[in-house]
Structure 1
């Protein structure tokens, strides 16, 4: 009888679990602000459009994120929230968001948890888009594939452009921390705090959080590693093509950013902060297309107590394992040469015109031996200036002062042709090309004519990411061994392509020179 009774109990439990994980049955989660109701899809529970801060509108425009007001009853979490205010700049962004609004501080969670008590590793992903565009609802960032690998996956919205990075003397004066700007980074910080408080309810382990992102998302990862406010909120970091440590584009001081803000206010004929806050969001957004201003990271004395390079040099950054890299064609040779023919004469002329006294040194390390080599060398130079050098320096400095493992990659697989593409196809891996591969999301992007080799590369790259998120080490069974970076030496890096293998970095001399020249400014 006891055996039969035990079998019946097990059967009932299995039926209850099945009823709670099938399509059409909605999982419910209790978080600090109230109860959420999500959706199941083939065993993965998703919760979309979760508010992690109050709407940053009205008096909260250009304020640090404010607490969410608790709600009564059950809140539906079955659709993405609105995306942040942004102009349609990048044609490769495919949104599933509920429109566009200043009210944009929402995050999304995908979890494979069965009991929601598993304590699974967690990935928090920040989208790219130059801090002026992007959204956590984009298909390429979808968290389902990572969840199927046993990882609770979170995508986070944050304020952009003038809404996320605007400074003004009146804002500094009213601020409890006597600074202004960097609101987008503070949004990310608020999301990380929310994860610490609530991810356990989704079956995640708050002590096993890895932050990651591409381009501006990678900049954001380096920012969170830099800020003392974010320490102890994550145990690992992944950066794909981007960092705040290039120094040939110095970050403005708070005083400089405030003057930039005053100039913008004058341009839109707003004589006070109150008048700026009274302007419709659409009007402010439209003005950013006309006004020559760069609303981006500011050395504000609060989120950034100092320049990121200085913080990393003295070892004051978050001491966490870092996996970081960039792509083979972050920029095209035309990014340097424009319409000029790719030959040595034109290459030398442009370097001399743009870089003056530094040109002679640059031409010693960016030195094509023939006209045929100019395309590749110019492509390398343009990519280094755009984003590769700063990413290299992040990894190099952290290997020297972070006291934690650093793993560096070079991503080389070009995207295939678009399904109906005519004309030139990139010969290298362009900026952002690796996202779908790394997150296992090739099927979500139907623009490209993916080939079996693409799925092969994706399987390898995602496996490295999954291992790192789970253990802080990308190495694992069936994968080429990925050595750590050794401080002060030419790095062993993982060359990711159809033939993935560890190689020695080839152009350290270039980056050491760029480091010398940027520090001299």
Structure 2
């Protein structure tokens, strides 16, 4: 048995949940009612965790609120039951999703959830000092078209048992979350247009509204509003990067965890809001193409009213993770995600980090070793042509065994272009600014998937992060449980004080552009600090493909 695993077994950490080693909670019944700025909430307590689910942080974005910034919640009378998830945001669910939804999606979806240690919530029956637990805010992934907070994989109980308050939030998806149309721009009063009022990025506005809700209300749950870590994976990780670059998010969080979040314009340039902001198809023209597809013409109030009256199912038609991977005929009717609006989102993270305009916060950032990667090349020569004179070197690095497997090599190059090199790029620039950065690669594959997957696929680390392995797998071994404890522990440490190290886990060294050190969460040896094994490939990607794609 591997030494790292044997050590954990000796400590008993595989058989006993981490929270069981904490100090026993008070024998008094847990407080399950809190008062926030819109009214009283009744949660539910079990196993030293009190959970509040389905908390509205903004009014329903339906009717006239469709394609408007999130509106305030109307206060309620009495005590609102917060024991069930609110609907996840409207979407066409993806049957292959690694984190399937737990509730039916709806356009009325701007809800969040809070898991807190049972002894964290202030007790009016006891005269004691307020608690100040660290707060972790989770933004789910799903390509901006799928996902939600109701999936059992994202249960925040393990974090709460380890003293961290976990907040998860829904945000508008697909065309509900990212949409522009001249009629929407014309709706803004002229004085607001001059002030560049936010338009188009309604999902980002939702995330900001939830973060502001945390600032106003997390103290009622025993949380410290000045100790907030923002964490997301895939589209959630990309959202974290966008928020680090948005002036509207400054001061709303103190550190960040970016998991498979990209960071460069490698899936296509971000569209500008309107045609006068760039030479590519604008978000407004994409919105007009969608309206035309629905039989709606014009740029006035009648067109906007017709768009707002479309059934929700029609607005998300043709959008989920599977359909996005299928070539579409005709003009695009989907922006692909965030819109360069010159306000909330001024551009791709790479440009913002290069210019030194991003919020400088400590960061954990990384990918999985078999992460997302796409290629449409039908031959090795076509695939390697962008490397120019270094095509043979690229062939040697990505196809050392000479298999000539275009699909496999294409996926590997696509992964490095889309995920791995951008993560290193962001880490390099943040480290150069003086902020501490810890970079990782997750390579562990669950027992049940070891004969099916080529490595740790996209999002496969999430059940380990949340310690919810049983919600995803029927068969586990001790190495799975040990890995869940390790990855989870690093994030708990980071959320507490901005450093993942401590608690007996192997030391995770800081990333610097010169050292190129990372933590590799390996299959056989557990977490291992090492130089990036793919450094040569990433150097080649940065040298050749990045300049081409950036321009």
The TM-score bracket by the shorter chain reads: 0.7 to 0.9
Task: Pick closer, same or farther for the CA change 1:248–1:61 going to 2, 3 Å.
Answer: closer
Task: Pick closer, same or farther for the CA change 1:362–1:35 going to 2, 3 Å.
Answer: farther
TM-score (norm 1): 0.87
Report what 1:343 is aligned to: none
Is contact 1:113–1:203 with CA below 8 Å preserved after alignment? Answer: no
Report what 2:242 is aligned to: 223
- The counterpart of 2:516, out of the listed 491, 496, 499, is 491
Report what 1:505 is aligned to: 532
Listed as ranges, the gaps of 5+ residues in structure 2 are 1-24, 122-129, 275-281, 298-302
Report what 2:226 is aligned to: 207
1:73 aligns with 2:82: no
3-state SS in 1 of match to 2:364: strand
CA distance in structure 2 between the partners assigned to 1:260 and 1:70 by the alignment: 37
- Output one character per residue of 1:153-187: Cα deviation in whole Å (capped at 9) or x when no partner: 01100000000011112222334444421111111
Report what 2:427 is aligned to: 395
TM-score (norm 2): 0.82
Is contact 2:226–2:254 with CA below 8 Å preserved after alignment? Answer: yes
Report what 1:146 is aligned to: 159
Segments ≥4 residues shifted beyond 6 Å: none
Q: Aligned ranges for residues 127-166 of structure 1 at < 5 Å?
A: 127-166=140-179
CA distance in structure 1 between the partners assigned to 2:375 and 2:486 by the alignment: 33
3-state SS in 1 of match to 2:88: coil
CA distance in structure 2 between the partners assigned to 1:54 and 1:211 by the alignment: 23
- Output one character per residue of 1:104-148: Cα deviation in whole Å (capped at 9) or x when no partner: 000000000415231000010011110000011111111001111
- How far did 1:378 drift? 4.6
Aligned length: 482
Task: Pick closer, same or farther for the CA change 1:287–1:241 going to 2, 3 Å.
Answer: closer
- How far did 1:246 drift? 4.0
- How far did 1:396 drift? 2.1
- Output one character per residue of 1:79-100: Cα deviation in whole Å (capped at 9) or x when no partner: 0001101112242333223x22
- How far did 1:411 drift? 0.6
Is contact 1:362–1:513 with CA below 8 Å preserved after alignment? Answer: no
- The counterpart of 1:480, out of the listed 506, 526, 540, is 506
Could you tell which deviates more after superposition, 307-316 or 152-161? 307-316
Task: Pick closer, same or farther for the CA change 1:270–1:114 going to 2, 3 Å.
Answer: same
1:293 aligns with 2:302: no
- How far did 1:233 drift? 0.5
Is contact 2:371–2:415 with CA below 8 Å preserved after alignment? Answer: yes
Could you tell which deviates more after superposition, 36-45 or 359-368? 359-368
CA distance in structure 1 between the partners assigned to 2:341 and 2:547 by the alignment: 20
- The counterpart of 2:343, out of the listed 276, 282, 302, is 302
Report what 1:518 is aligned to: 546
- Output one character per residue of 1:185-215: Cα deviation in whole Å (capped at 9) or x when no partner: 1111110000011001001100110010111
3-state SS in 2 of match to 1:207: strand
Task: Pick closer, same or farther for the CA change 1:247–1:115 going to 2, 3 Å.
Answer: closer
Could you tell which deviates more after superposition, 389-398 or 143-152? 389-398
Report what 1:38 is aligned to: 43
Report what 1:267 is aligned to: 293
Q: Aligned ranges for residues 222-261 of structure 1 at < 5 Å?
A: 222-247=241-266, 249-255=268-274, 256-261=282-287
RMSD over aligned Cα atoms: 2.4
- How far did 1:442 drift? 1.1
Report what 1:172 is aligned to: 185
CA distance in structure 2 between the partners assigned to 1:250 and 1:357 by the alignment: 18
3-state SS in 2 of match to 1:325: strand
Could you tell which deviates more after superposition, 135-144 or 290-299? 290-299
Listed as ranges, the gaps of 5+ residues in structure 1 are 1-15, 341-345
- How far did 1:247 drift? 4.5
Is contact 1:33–1:70 with CA below 8 Å preserved after alignment? Answer: yes
CA distance in structure 1 between the partners assigned to 2:233 and 2:404 by the alignment: 29
